A = this chain, B = another copy of it.
Amino acid sequence: METILRIDLSAEGGPRAVRHPLGKYAGLAGRALTTAIIANEVPPDCEALGPANKLVIAPGLMSGTAASNCGRLSVGCKNPWTGLLEEANPGGRAAQYLGRLGVAAVVLEGAPPGGALYAVTIGEDGVGVAGADDLRGVTNHTLCRWVGERRSGAACLCIGPVGEMRLAGATIASTDRELRPVHHVSRGGVGAVMGRKGVKCVVIDPGEAETRPPAEPEAFREASALFLQGLAVYAATGRADSPHAAGPGGAGHACAQECGAVSCATFSAGNGRLAARHETAWSHSAECGISDPDALAELDHLEADFGLDPVETGRALGLAMRAGVIDFGDAEGAARLVREAGEGTHLGRILASGPSTMAACFGLEPPSPHPAWPRSDQALREDADGREAAERLRSSNDGSHLLSPKSREQVSRNLRIASAAMDSTGFCRFVVLAILEQGRTFEAMVDTINAMHGLRLTPDDLVELGRNILETEHNFNQRVRSPAPDVRPRGPLAGAFCRPSGAEPERREETGHA
């Protein structure tokens, strides 16, 4: 992972791709790198959908290695939903392939004039940026089939029509081993930012590029065997009958290289399509009262195809039901609305802009922000798979700390710190649960990292890394928020109210009356 690949979409004469050495970003990867680049290079007050924003795509520290469960990608930008720096973290093959190709980050900068659309290809043979006007409006499944016909061994990061429309519910799809767009960078409207950059897809073709060799091969083999063993015996990361092709739900994908966190928690559908992703299943059932697996699979397929965040879309559909646009539980109506989002009708645009826009347009109280699983202990506790993990957390402590709000806040904070660190390694967040309870597995994970890179990191270093990432994000976001105005009278008009010149009045601290 020697280089940062910067693609300037504003460059005169068309997009320009340049490789840079890591420079001051040396040692960073994944979320630590996306966060650092944005914090250093994006003006906090810029428009998320303006040319000054950057979309940073970075594999983890362990991506492209032979270690287990390290296929997570980090995608960050100032997001259009909240205007804040937020990072999202999908599975798929892209991280592994970028790692093998030695690309520490792809940075999409600027924005093309006149709404031009491009396809980026990254391979052993170099980087290409080609006009992609013929791909305009193409849905994710069709696009990925098209990619597969040309580069069957590649991974693809792409946007559907919703991303091209630059709507806040737009995702970036990330393909699995079969080049299917089943993983998604979903939160915060990252797909809208990619759409604004005029990039329809980033195709990553590793060609013959091999898994990256460890600095200390013997130590790596030992540590990663121990690590894998720890994952295999843990319920959320292993599977009794086949510990080396694991996944909590057992959907048939190897957690080891694929990151099964998305596809693993599916359940069977009878229509031959992939079953609904975990997020679609819970958001569309809880928010919309849709429980038929085939209906959920159909909605999931449509949303993945158009590039629409399943969590926020489920919530927006629920609001549409509350507003009376469709009936509660109406799966066909929900599918019709999702199709409208893909087509860009006015109602579809409202839906694809997310729950707050849906609430605004139908005069409803806006819903409170909803954490995507597993971003907090709340979600963790409510989630089907997470329930077991929470039970274990409960039993592994004194059993009462999860009951008090204060303790839950602490659990949430520490999970966030741990997650920020794990998002930098490329290891899946499920691993957090395994290492939380199995001290030896944690040590084995750190040893695996050290052996891979010839480092001498301690567990404390990872905590420090996680905290630094959160602090960097927090500092950036503080700068996004406007400073408090000073309301003391002074200057040319103060005298108009007969205040003696130079006599600054005291500030009064009371708040109610005058």
Interface residues in chain A, defined as those with a beta carbon under 8 Å from any beta carbon in chain B: 24-25, 27-28, 32, 36, 39-40, 47-50, 80, 165-168, 192, 195-196, 345-347, 349-350, 353, 357, 360-366, 393, 397, 401, 407, 409-411, 413-418, 424, 435-436, 439, 442, 458-460, 462-472, 474-476, 478, 481, 484-494, 496-499, 505, 507-508, 510-514
Contact = CB atoms under 8 A, between A and B. Distances in A.
Contacts of A350: 346, 349-350, 361
- Is chain A's binding surface mostly helix, strand, loop or mixed? helix
B478 A24 contact: no
A397 B347 CA distance: 54
A460 to B, nearest CB: 6
Contacts of A469: 514
A497 B459 contact: yes
Given A50-B365, A468-B513, A474-B487, A494 B357 contact: no
Contacts of A353: 357, 360-361
A234 to B, nearest CB: 14
Nearest to A402: B492
A350 to B, nearest CB: 6
A360 to B, nearest CB: 5
Given A36-B514, A460-B497, 11 more contacts: A32-B513, A49-B363, A168-B360, A346-B350, A353-B360, A393-B492, A413-B487, A414-B490, A414-B492, A467-B487, A467-B488
B411 A491 contact: yes
Contacts of A490: 410, 413-414
Number of copies: 2
A194 to B, nearest CB: 12
Given A366-B47, A410-B493, A505 B360 contact: no
B47 A407 contact: no
Contact of A497 (B346, B360, B462): B462
Nearest to A81: B360
A242 B463 CA distance: 77
Contacts of A25: 513
A40 B512 CA distance: 7
A446 to B, nearest CB: 10
B362 A489 contact: no
Contact of A365 (B49, B349, B407, B513): B49
A192 to B, nearest CB: 6
Contact of A489 (B27, B407, B467, B476): B467
B167 A492 contact: no
Contact of A167 (B347, B361, B513): B361
Nearest to A409: B491
A510 to B, nearest CB: 8
A113 to B, nearest CB: 15
Given A357-B361, A360-B357, A460 B499 contact: yes
Contacts of A416: 487
Nearest to A461: B514
A251 to B, nearest CB: 28
Most central of A40, A345, A512 by chain B CB within 10 Å? A512
A334 B271 CA distance: 46
Contacts of A494: 410, 414, 463
A437 B225 CA distance: 83
A147 B12 CA distance: 63
Contact of A27 (B168, B418, B424, B513): B513
B463 A489 contact: yes
Nearest to A354: B360
